[in-house]
Every structure is written in C-alpha cells, then in structure tokens.
Structure 1
Amino acid sequence: METESPNNPQEGLAPSSGERAAVEDNRLLIEAVQKRNIQLVQNLLERGADVNFQEVDGGWTPLHNAVQLGSEDMVELLLQHGADPCRRKKNGATPFLVAGIVGNVKLLDLFLSKGSEVNECDLNGFTAFMEAAVYGKVDALKFLHENGAEVNLGRKTKEDQKKLRKGGATALMDAAEHGHVDALKVLLDEMGAAVNARDNMGRNALIYALMSSREENVEAIARLLLDHGADVNVRGERGKTPLILAVEKKHLGLVQMLLEQEHIDVNDTDSEGNTALLVAVQGRQEKIARLLCNKGAHVDCGNLVIIARRNYDISLVEFLLRNGAREDFHPPAEDWNPQNSRWGEALKHLHRIYRPMIGKLKIFIDEEYKIADTSEGGIYLGFYEGQEAAVKRFCEGSILAQKEVSCLQNSRENCNLVTFYGTESQGDCLYVCLALCERTLEEHLAMNCRGAAENAEDEFSRSALLSIFKAVAELHLVGYAHQDLHPQNILIDSKNAVRLADFDKSVKYAGHLQEIERDLEALGRLVLYVVKKGDIPFETLKVQSNEEVIRLYPDEEIQDLIRHLFSPGKNLQTPLCEMLGHPFFWSWESRYRTLQGLGNESDIKVRKATSEILKKLNQGPHEPSRSFDQWTSKIDQRVMRKMNKFYEKSRNFYQDSVGDLLKFIRNLGAHINEKTNKDMKLKIGDPAQYFQKTFPDLMIYVYTKLQDTEYTKHFPQTHDLPKL
C-alpha cells in the first residue's frame, strides 16, 4: 500500500478547473440522456464528455440509460461517439440485457450486430430472455427465441449462492411468478418450455406462481401450467406443496382446481408435518377444509378439533368429529431418542412431524432426510414398523429394484448383509426398506483409521474383511453375485458391525461364473483398500492390473490372500468358504496358540529329522529370505540364554531351524509365567505380540507348508463357515 509523502507538492491539491469541468460534463451527459435532450448530448460529447462514463452507485453508462428509455436515436448517437455496446453495470448487466427488460426488439437486434451474445447474463444469471419473461415482453421473447436464446436455461449463480441452492430458475418460472399469462402461453405453446423444470431448490413454475403475492392472474396461470402437465406434488420452500400454498392463500378456486388433478396427494405435508387440512383449520377456512375432507384428507394430522374449537368454529368442529377426528389426539412424544447417532436430529424431526403412512412406512422425500443419491430415486431416512430405516426409492417396475429385492429376499439368512425389512409401493414408486446404518466403510476409514500404528494388531481390518468375505460367500452359495463391491456399498452400523449393501446390480448366475470372478477380483482390491486404511483410493485400485495390486502391499500374508482371490482355482462357487480359514483372519493370540500346538508335536520336540512335519517345514535352498532366518540371534539374548539352560546337560541347544523355533515358542509359553522367570516376562511381554512382530511371516510360511496335511488340526476352527 502506498503512503503519503509530505515532500510531494502535488499531494492533496484540489482538481484543476479543467478536471472539474470534465467531471461536471460527464454528470451532465447522464442527465441529458435521462431527459432525452439529444442536442445537449451531442454538444457535451463534442466538448469531450466521456461517452463511457459510469455512475458511482450502479455503474450506469449513458448507453444503459438510453436503452432503458428505449431512445433508439440516442443509442445510435452514443454508439457513433464510441459507446461500448458490451459495457457492464456493477451487477453485470449489459445494454443488451437492459433492452430485454424494456422489450425493445430493434435495440436487441442492434446489440446482437454489435457483438452481444444472445445468452449472455449478468452476475445474478439473468439473460435477456429471462428479463423479457420477468417483464412480460412477448415480442422480445419471440425475437430472442428466433435468434437462439435457450428457453430452458437455468439461472447461473455464483458458487457461494449455489451452495445455498440459489439459482436455477428458468424464464417460465419468471413469467409464472410475475403473472404474465401471454408470455406463459408463448413459452409453453410456441417455444416448448419445460413445465416441470426445477430450480436449485427443486421448485417448478407452478410453485413460483403460487408463491407470488400477485392474485389477479394466479388462477389462470395455474390452470395453464396444470393443463400442460405441471407436477402437482412438487415442493417449494419449507417443503410446501402447491395444495398447501393454495390453502395458505385462502384461494378456494385454486384449491378446487388442484384437487381435480388426477395424481394430487391431498395428505402430503410440508417440512414441519403440516397437511393442507391442518393449514385450512388453522386458517379458519371451513369451506376449504370440507373440500379437502371430501377428497380424502386424513383427520389424524394434528389437534384439528382443539384448534377449531379454540377458533370458535363450532360447525367445523362438528364436521371434523363426524369425519373421525379425535378430541384426544396425542402427537408423538417429544422426548423420543433415536438409536442412530449420525442421523439423530433428522430422525427426531421425522418422528415428531405428521406424515401419511405408506403401508408400514413413514417417510418424507425431502433433502433434510436424504442419505445418499442413487441412479434412480435416492436413499432416505424412514420408519418401517417403527424401526429406523434407510429407504431406497425406485421407479415402480425398475429392473434395478427387481434385482435388489430378489437378492435380499433370497438372502434373508445372511446375517452379514444389511437387514431387509420389506417393501412398500405408492403411485409410481417402490420403497425398499433396510436397517439404518451409521456410515460407509469409506467414511469409517477416513474418520477412524488414518494414522493407525504400523506394528499394532489390525483388528478392524480382520473383522471387517471377515464380515465382507462371509457376506459374499453366502451370496454365492445361494446363487447370487454382487457385482458392485465397493467401499461405499459396505456399511457400518451403530454397533460397528460391517454390513454388505446395495444389490441393485446383483445377478443370479446359472453356470456362468464370470460374475463370481468379478466379485473375487473386487474383493482382492477391497482387501488392499482396507488394510491400507483407504490411503489408496478404490478407484485407483480398480484400474490397476491384478499383479500391480499384489505388488502394492509387501506383506506376504496379504499377498497370499489376494493372490488366492485373483486365482481361485476351478471350484469358483466355494473358494471364499475355504479362504475364511486363511491366517489373515486369525488373531495374534490364535496364531500364537497354533504355533505352540505345532511346537508340541513329538517329532518337533525330539527333532526327528525323518518326520513328515520337519521335512515340510525345512526351508529349501532357493527359497527367499525370511524374518526367522537365523532366528536365535533375533530373540532377546538374555531370554535365549535362559531358555538354553534347560538343555545344558544334554548340550542339545536351540538351532536355527523352523522346527526348533516352534519348539522354542511352545517351551517359552510353558515357562514364561513362572515366578522364577519374571525377568523374561518383562523382556518378552505378551508372547503372542512378541512373536508376531519379531517374525511376521512365520505364520503364513507354516500355513503354506502344512495346509494340506494332518497338522491342520492345530489351525484355528474356521470362522462360522457357511454350510455348503
């Protein structure tokens, strides 16, 4: 930032008389244009007034002012003297946009010839076409349409406004909001305007018409929009439907018109659970309330009788009672608490407000209750038979819905899938109701697992992948392949249990096992994604080759598991059942007990060189190096000396063989908790952790060598394998 200098003789001096005259001429030029004094404008321009001078407040130029007045001669004069035809005001409006507001076709044509773009817009996203619709300028609308204006263009806004769901309105919405029937007819009948286009809040032109305070044309506009197929169940701000807005307007004719529509939902509510009937009773609109009840409005939507009695609407009280309303209506308890923590506040709100039931389902299709987007109708919070639910919304007859429901119905015994409650239908929608979970696997890893200790036992990865493997294994056994195994389709419930979800791409295979192979390959990538705690994006893993995926993780045990998934052998239908017995799924304590059991084999204890088990465990000359090579030098030496003391008489000390290491593990386990070995206990700590960290590849080595032998009797019992 520059600072003032007391030594500069020019600083602080008042403008010269010439400068003051120029500024005054610029101001006079604007005034002369506004007063349509073309001769004075000519004189001022010839005297040197700035033709592109802009006012401080709004940035208006002489040209903007001339266009606003529709003074074509003045516009021509200014352009001849160098006026910029594309200069913008502070709000971004060009002279072309102002011409759209005033509806001057000649000026619109002129500015197009001077370089204006037919769909150019100001900073609020208004085009000339939209401005013409706002002000009902039909001739301008027709001209702009003929010259390429986009009829269904939605208003573009700044990014911060877009985040607030501002913008997106079309010219049709503008004409409807401002009550221009003729403009609306032209837009619908001649230009093919989309009657159900939505703005960024989801509102259509019908909502705009009913939100407007203009009353004179609202009925004609609503009729026109409805005749062209406007959606009568669309929502405005605070979830208000056209019917609720019409009741709020206390407009009997509008209410009658809307109730005549074939697909009207008379019991729909706004975001506070108010129905049209409740609004009518609150507003003392007895005629409208009677109309609504005759159309099937439910009377269990609030304290209708109490409200009507409080308003002294005695005839309405009697009418409501005759139609089944109760004096002792009790709303849901305010102190109800949800089980789900993530969606708790939204569930409380949904529980409290009135919603008409869809069979056993209470749901509100509103952004407040949306869990996720899908390719069809989204996933919303709901209550199914009073249970908190995630509800997938499909079009009735959807192939995706058929796949989802078929797979879920045939897999009800699969406890590792998200629980399936049931389905409900209404109109053209099918609702698939599932147990509500807290978050996706992707979200869980991002929240909880980043920066996990490298050498700690990864219990989450083991338990999560075990659940996923079981879920997919049982799917395969009942004849289904998932086909969309992905971190976002694996959910974590409120008890941190892992559940497989999203079966709308599942297939029932009949002898063609490519689908099974695709599931197994996706599982291989999921293994790496989970053990890496999501650090490698799943989308990145999807485009890697199988060998590249295997090489991304140096751990031999995990490589072995992934390799088996990528090359499962001939029996594709049941490989996951077998893989559930892989050491990856064993806890460190189970591994330790397994190694102890093997070390207790008599042939190992006496080092019988000809025994089958020692032959299998011996390392070949060409095998890669292992963490347990020269293992006696890697054990704490004080512990090693103490354990060798047991063999001082026989001089049969521990040797660097796998068999002796197993014997050592067995013997140490037998002696470490003795009082005389407290010092050894201090050095070793938990033996299960000590041996896993010291020899991380020992278990997979032993497993690989002995998996097809009788010694598998020492391996842990497989985790609740599905029955074949």
Structure 2
Amino acid sequence: MENRMVTRKQSRHQITMSVLDKDVRKAVALGDVAKVRQALEAGISPNDVDNNGWTLLHLAASRGRDRVLRLLLEEGGKPEIRDIIGGFTCLHYAAMHGRTRLARLLLEYDKSKRCELVDIPSRDGWTPLHVAAHYGRDSFVRLLVMYSATVDPLSVKGTTPLQLAIIREKQSCVKVLLDNQANIDIQRGFPLRYTIIKGNHDAARLLLNRGANPNLSREDDGQTPLHLAAIKNDNLNCRLLYSFGASCHACGDDGKTPLDTYKDVYTNKESAPCFKFLQGATSNPRKLQDTCRLTIRHAIGKTRLHLIDNLPLSILMTNYLRYKYDDFCGL
C-alpha cells in the first residue's frame, strides 16, 4: 500500500511537471520572462528536453528571445546540448534564423566553452558556420569568424561552408567567406566547377577574380572547368575561363581536350560561337599582354589579390590586373 501511495505521488508530480513544461515552453516562445522565472523556481530545468530533444535554450534561440535566453543561462542552461533530430545546438538554430545578438550572448556568457561551442558539429558534421552559410546569413558568418570559428570545417560528406554558399547561390555570403580566407579551391576546385555546371557567370567571374584555379580537374574523369563549359556549350564561360588562364590543351582521363569533348557532344557545330572560340583558342597562342597579366597575378598569389590596388601602379594597370572592364562576351 505504501509503495502504491508513492507511485501515485510520483504520477501526480509528473503530470504537474508536464503541465509546467508546456506552460514554460509557451512562455519562452512568447518571451515572457516573468513566467519563465516562475517555472524555473517551481522546479523546471532549463536543460529538460522535449520529444525532439529541444531544451528551453533551443526554443529561445530559435524564437529570438534574448532576455529569456540570458535568464536560462543564468539558471544553469547548457548551450552545448544537441537535439535528437540533427544534433543541433541552440547556436545552430540561432545561425539558422540569423540571431546574431543571441549568438553573441551565447559566445560571451561562458568564455571557457566558447571554442567548443563555436565549432560544435551536428550529427552530419555541420558547424554553426555551415548553417549560417547555407541560409546566407552574412552578418552571422562574420560574427562566428570573429569568434575564431574554423572557416573550412568539413561535414561528414566533406562539405565546407563555402561550398554550401556556392550551392545555395548566396553570393554575398561567398564574398564574406572568401574575405576570411576560405579555401577557394576546396575539393579540387569544386566551387568553380559547380558554378560552371550551373552556368552561373557572375559567380564564376567572382571566383576567378578571387584567384580560383581554372585548371584543377575532377578526380573521377580528369575534366577541367573548361571541359565542363564546353559540354554545356557555354560560350561566355569558355571565354571567361580562358581569359583567367584555363588551358585549351588540358586533357581529361580519356585524353581529350575541351575542343575534342565539344566535338563529341555536338553535331552541326561549325557555326556555334562556342566551337569557333575553342577552335581559335586551341590553334593560336595567347597574346603576350594576357600572358603577362596571368604571370603577375600568379606571382601576387590568390590570397593577396585583394591588395592589387595597393601596388605602385597606374589605375589603368591595376584595373587591368583586376579584369575590371573586360567584356568577355566580346573577346
């Protein structure tokens, strides 16, 4: 009988706490600091999880409730706890929604855990920087880098934040990552190859101007970005790549040049602008002027190309080195 009485008490307590838990989660979502404080005083823990593995900190970060988040941290909330859906922390959710103010609070509250929190991976190996890049949260990317986030962390599938920004076509975010020394040639030049495959001329020009190597080949078939542009019959990208140093004589694993590859893919090709360009570029040597520009840019190095304007050269020359006024349609 005594054991039965204890069980009933435990049952009533669980029901009471369940109701409290629902109430406090609603209060967190609404940003009601007073009700959240009352629930914590009644015995609710900021680290209790729901069916998705969300703590109150996950909810506060997702809804942008900074005052509630501060209270939860003061009451022992652990921001490093990961949910059971994807293994995301509250910082991941702050990144998802672009809550930079909350992220700053999380990273400043306990500086001893900052290094762990800023780079903590999800189940798929996504850090908060992956999430911010995926959703194009430029200011959040800047904040994470300022707090020493690793710029090129690899996910389980070997993906970096830069690759995600490229795939999602978040061009401003791509610029922020490159400004912070993200590896532009990651995965043997994946960013440039992807933009060529997608026919994204603006992104391709951005990457090439920032120093992307136009001659890195794919591991599976040895094809360079120029091969891929030829397969796409993309005259503009063929001209763009060539202008930035792509070799017309590079061969894939099948021993074929971009021009050979083009001939294999297309019939009635003689009148096509792309074919005419590849044929002319393959048959004739580069102009000395263009060779000099490529040599100078190579000597500067891709990590220092942003310093071209600081060189003791005329504006005309610096603009030339930066391809500022080049019209690749008219080459």
- TM > 0.5 between the two? yes
2:215 aligned residue (266, 290, 295): 266
Whether the 8 Å contact between 1:266 and 1:295 is mirrored in structure 2 is: no
Q: CA distance change for structure 1 residues 272 and 311 in 2, over 3 Å: closer, same or farther?
A: same
Contact 2:230 2:261 in 1 (8 A): no
CA gap of 1:292–1:270, structure 2 versus 1, over 3 A, is: farther
Matched, 1:136 2:136: no
1:630-687 Cα shifts (integer Å, max 9, x gaps):
xxxxxxxxxxxxxxxxxxxxxxxxxxxxxxxxxxxxxxxxxxxxxxxxxxxxxxxxxx
Instruction: Rate the CA distance shift 1:312–1:324 in 2: closer, same or farther, 3 A.
Output: closer
Cα distance in 1, alignment partners of residues 180 and 122 from structure 2: 26
CA apart distance, 1:256: 0.9
- 2:136 is the alignment partner of 1:184: no
Rate the CA distance shift 1:67–1:316 in 2: closer, same or farther, 3 A: same
Aligned residue number for residue 203 of structure 1: 159
Structure number with bigger Rg: 1
1:67 to partner: Cα distance: 2.3
Q: 1:176-255 maps to which residues of 2 (within 5 A)?
A: 176-188=133-145, 190-212=146-168, 215=169, 218-235=170-187, 241-255=190-204
1:348-497 matches, cutoff 5 A: none
Pairwise CA distance, 1:271: 3.7
Deviation at 1:142, TM superposition (A): 0.7
How many corresponding residue pairs? Answer: 258
Residues 53-64 of structure 1 correspond to what in structure 2 (within 5 A)?
53=19, 61-64=22-25
| Superposition pairs of residues 496-511 of structure 1, within 5 angstroms | none
In the other structure, the counterpart of 1:322 is 280
Partner of 1:153: 119
Contact 1:136 1:175 in 2 (8 A): yes
Which amino acid in the other structure matches residue 241 of structure 1?
A: F
Distance 1:270 1:292, change over 3 A: farther
Code of the aligned partner of 1:182: S
What amino acid maps onto 2:75 in structure 1?
A: K
Equivalent in 172, 176, 181 of residue 129 of structure 2 = 172
Q: Give the aligned residue type for 1:176.
A: A
Q: Partner residue of 1:276? A: 225
* RMSD of aligned Cα (Å): 3.1
TM-score (norm 1): 0.33
Which residue matches 1:107? 68
- 1:155 counterpart SS class: coil
Q: Which runs of 4+ in 1 moved over 4 A?
A: 308-313
1:64, 1:271 → 2: CA distance? 50
Partner Cα distance (1:89, 1:288) in 2: 51
**CA distance in structure 2 between the partners assigned to 1:120 and 1:303 by the alignment:** 52
Cα 1:266–1:69 change in 2 (3 A) is: farther
When structure 1 is superposed on structure 2, of 308-317 and 292-301 the one drifting more is 308-317
Q: How many percent identity over aligned positions?
A: 23
Structure 1 SS opposite 2:282: coil
In 2 relative to 1, CA 271–93 (structure 1 residues): closer, same or farther, beyond 3 Å?
Answer: farther
Greater fraction helix: 2
1:193-222 deviations in Å (ceiling 9; x for gaps):
22223223332221121122xx4xx22111
The offset of 1:91, in angstroms, is 2.7
Offset, 1:68? 3.0
Contact map agreement 2:235 2:277 (CA 8 A) in 1: no
Does the Cα contact within 8 Å between 1:67 and 1:98 map onto a contact in 2?
Answer: yes
Q: Which has the higher contact order (CA 8 A, sep 6+)?
A: 2
Structure 2 length as normaliser, TM-score? 0.68
Which string of whole-angstrom CA distances, capped at 9 and with x for unpartnered residues, describes residues 553-592 of structure 1?
xxxxxxxxxxxxxxxxxxxxxxxxxxxxxxxxxxxxxxxx
CA distance, structure 1, for counterparts of residue 220 and residue 24 of structure 2: 47
Q: Following TM superposition, by how much is the alpha carbon of 1:296 offset from its aligned partner in structure 2, in angstroms?
A: 3.0
Change in CA separation of 1:270 and 1:50 when aligned onto 2, cut-off 3 Å: farther
Answering whether residue 36 of structure 2 is matched by residue 75 of structure 1, we say: yes
1:288 and 2:237 matched = yes
Instruction: Provide the rounded CA distance (Å) in 1 between the counterparts of 2:152 and 2:207.
Output: 16
For 1:313 and 1:98, the matched residues in 2 are separated by 61
Q: Partner letter of residue 183 of structure 1?
A: F
Mark the CA change 1:233 to 1:108 in structure 2 (over 3 Å): closer, same or farther.
same
Any stretches of 5+ residues in structure 1 without a counterpart? Answer: 1-47, 55-59, 158-166, 326-426, 428-724
Q: For the residues of structure 1 that align with 2:271 and 2:45, how far apart are their CA atoms?
A: 66
Structure 1's 288 and 265: CA in aligned 2 closer, same or farther, altered over 3 A? closer
User: Shift in Å at residue 82 of structure 1?
Assistant: 3.9
- In the aligned structure 2, how far is the partner of 1:87 from the partner of 1:298? 59
Give secondary structure in 2 for the equivalent of 1:226: helix
Change in Cα spacing, 1:263 to 1:303, as seen in structure 2 (3 Å) is closer
Measure the CA separation in 1 of the matches of 2:212 and 2:189.
17
Aligned to 1:92: 53
Whether the 8 Å contact between 2:154 and 2:160 is mirrored in structure 1 is yes
Aligned pairs for 1:575-590 within 5 A: none
User: In structure 2, do the counterparts of structure 1 residues 186 and 313 end up closer, same or farther at CA, with 3 Å as the change threshold?
Assistant: farther
